[in-house]
Structure 1
Amino acid sequence: MREERNLKIESVNKQLGWASGKLSRMERNEWKLPSVRDMKDLAELYELSDEMHEALTSLARESRVRGWWVDFKDVLRGGLADFESGASMIRTFEALLVPGLFQTADYAAAVLRGSRVMSDSEIERKIDGRMRRQEILASSDAPHVWAVVDEAALRKRVGGSDVMAAQVQHLIRMAELPNIDIQVLRDNVGSHAAMEGAFMILDFPDPADLPLVYIETATEDLYLEQPETIQNYVSTFGHICSEAESPEASVRFLESLS
C-alpha cells in the first residue's frame, strides 16, 4: 500500500512522528504485538477506504489474542487478558467492585450471580478464566499493578459477610507483594476526579507500543488509544492517587474491616 502511493519509508516515519526504523521493522515483520493505533495511523495516512481501515485495525486487534485465553474466548470478551499479559504496568480504578485481578473465586461468583443473566455453568467458566488472568501477578515478568479502590466497593457485603471478609484478607495478602500497590479512596474525600466510573491504564515495555485505556461496560469492551485521551486518564489517576490513602494506610484500613 505504501509503494502504491509512492511513499518513502522515511517520509511515513516523519509524518507520523515515528522513530526512523519503526516502519522498516513493521514491514519486515520484526514486531511482536501489532498496535491498533499504528494501523489506524497508517490507514489514515494512506487514505484507505473505510472498509480497509476497519479490516486492518480489526486484524491488529485480533492478532494480539493468543495463548491460554483463546480457550476462554466464549467468556472473556475482547483481548484484555492478552493486553494484561504483555503489560509492564497496570493502573486501575474501581468504584463499586474489587479489581478483577484481585478477586477471590467466591467473590467473583457472587458478582456474576448478581447479574441474573448467566447459568451456573457460564459463571463457573468465567470464574476459571478470571483465575487464569490472575496468574500474571506471580509470573517471572509480572507487571506492576497499581490499584485505587473506592471505599464503597469494600463496604458492600458481596456474597455475604464471610465471602467479603475472605476477599478483604486476600487484598491484604496481595498488597504485600512487591509488584502490587493498593490504595483506598475513602468516602470522606467526597467528589473526586474519577466519579464517572472505573477504568484501567495499561503500559507496555516496548516504547513503540503506546499505552492503552480499557473501559468495561455491560455489553462491550472499550479500548481507547488517542494520546490526548490517555493523558486525560493518566492525569485522572494521578489525582485520585493523591486523594486516596497511602498504600500503608490502606492496608491498615483493610485490616480494620476484617
Structure 2
Amino acid sequence: MPEIHAAGYSPTIKKRALSRKLLAARKEIGLTTTDVCKQLRWSPSKLNYIEKAKWIEPSSDAVTDLCEVYGIEGDERDALIRLTREARQRGWWSKYNDVFDNEFPGFEAAASSVDTFQHTFLPGLLQIAGYIEVVTIAAGIEDPAEVKRHVAARLERQKILTQVDGASRLRAVIDENVIARVRQLPVGEAQLRHLLDMATRPNVELQVIRTGIGPYRGAGEAFTCLGFADPGERDIVFLETTIDNRLLEEKDELRAYRERFAQLCTIALAPGATKAYLAQQLEITG
C-alpha cells in the first residue's frame, strides 16, 4: 500500500489524507463498498462519507473497524489511528462556523500556493479590516457583533501570508473595476496602500487587468486555486457563487482552471507594472 502523507498542519487536510488512505486500502484488497458495509453492518452513506472526507469528526472506532476488514495491522494501523486523532483537532476556523459555511479555510490554511482571480471584490487575503466591514455590511449583515466576527475571522485567514515558517505564495489577478470601486470608499486610500505594501512581499504577486482591453476570455466567474507542497495531495479549485460554494478536485477541472488562470495572467499588467499602477491610483485617491 503506498504511503500517504498529510501535508501541512490543517486538520482538514489530515482528514482528506485519512479518507484517501482508507479508500486505497479497500481498493487494494478488491472489496466493494457493498462488501464492506455488509461485513460491518454499516449504511452505504456512512462509508461514502468516510471515503469522500465528508465526515465531520473522524472516528477512531470506525477506522479500527476498517483496519480489521482491510487487514491493516501493527505500525500502519497505529499511524492511521494517530492520523485520525490529528484529523479530529479543531482548527482556528472552527470557532467561526457562523462565518464560514464550508471547509475552505481549512484547505487554505495548509496550501503552499494560492492563485485567485477576482472581478467584484478584492481577494480575501488582501482585505483590510475597514474593507471587510464594508463588504460584510453590503452582503446584508448589519449586526455590529456579527460584523466584528466576520472581520476577525477574515483577518485570521491572512496569517498564512505572513507566518515566519512556510508562508504561502499568493498570486492574484484582479479586474480593474474592483480597484475603481475601492477608490470610492472612505477606506479606499488605506486599502490601496495595503495592496501596494503586500505587492512588495516576496511571496505575493498582484496583476491588474485594465478595462481598456475590453471583454476578455475567462472573465465569467471568480475562482481560487489552492496548491499543496505534498505531491500526494491533489490541488483544489474553490468557486463561490450566490447559490452555493463548490470545491473541485477532479484532474480535468483542475487543468481547466489552471489554464484559465495562466491566460488571465498573460492579459494582465505584469507584477512590476501593477505596482506602478497602484502607486498611481494612490496619488489620484490622495
Same-fold call, TM cutoff 0.5 = yes
Tell me which residue corresponds to 1:215: 239
Q: Name the CA shift for 1:53/1:240 in 2 (closer, same or farther; >3 Å).
A: farther
Structure 2 counterparts to residues 134-153 of structure 1, below 5 A: 134-139=158-163, 140-153=165-178
Identical positions, percent: 27
Q: Please report the RMSD computed on the Cα atoms of aligned residues, expressed in angstroms.
A: 2.7
Q: Name the CA shift for 1:200/1:39 in 2 (closer, same or farther; >3 Å).
A: farther
1:245 aligned counterpart, secondary structure: coil
Q: Name the CA shift for 1:163/1:123 in 2 (closer, same or farther; >3 Å).
A: same
Q: Report the CA distance between 1:40 and its aligned residue.
A: 10
Instruction: Tell me the alpha carbon deviations over residues 56-102 of structure 1, each in whole angstroms, 9 at most, x when there is no partner.
Output: 12128984873211111221221222211111111011001110000
1:106 aligned counterpart, secondary structure: helix
Can you give the 5+ residue segments of structure 2 that lack an aligned partner in the other structure?
35-43, 59-86
Residue of structure 2 aligned with 1:123, choices 147, 167, 170? 147
Q: Name the CA shift for 1:94/1:81 in 2 (closer, same or farther; >3 Å).
A: same
TM-score by length of 1: 0.81
Structure 2 counterparts to residues 143-222 of structure 1, below 5 A: 143-157=168-182, 160-222=184-246
Distance 1:133 1:117 in 2: 20
Residue of structure 1 aligned with 2:45, choices 31, 47, 51? 51
What one-letter code is carried by the residue in structure 1 that aligns with 2:49? Answer: A
Q: Name the CA shift for 1:41/1:239 in 2 (closer, same or farther; >3 Å).
A: farther
Can you give the 5+ residue segments of structure 1 that lack an aligned partner in the other structure?
1-8, 10-20
What one-letter code is carried by the residue in structure 2 that aligns with 1:235? Answer: E
Distance 2:260 2:25 in 1: 30
What one-letter code is carried by the residue in structure 2 that aligns with 1:130? Answer: R
Assess if the C-alpha contact under 8 Å between 1:64 and 1:83 holds in 2. no
Tell me which residue corresponds to 1:108: 132
1:191 aligned counterpart, secondary structure: coil
Tell me which residue corresponds to 2:14: 33
Assess if the C-alpha contact under 8 Å between 1:65 and 1:82 holds in 2. no
Distance 2:21 2:3 in 1: 13
Q: Report the CA distance between 1:41 and its aligned residue.
A: 6.5
Distance 1:177 1:195 in 2: 27
Q: Report the CA distance between 1:124 and its aligned residue.
A: 0.9
Larger of the two Rg values belongs to structure: 2
Q: Name the CA shift for 1:64/1:225 in 2 (closer, same or farther; >3 Å).
A: farther
What one-letter code is carried by the residue in structure 2 that aligns with 1:138? Answer: T
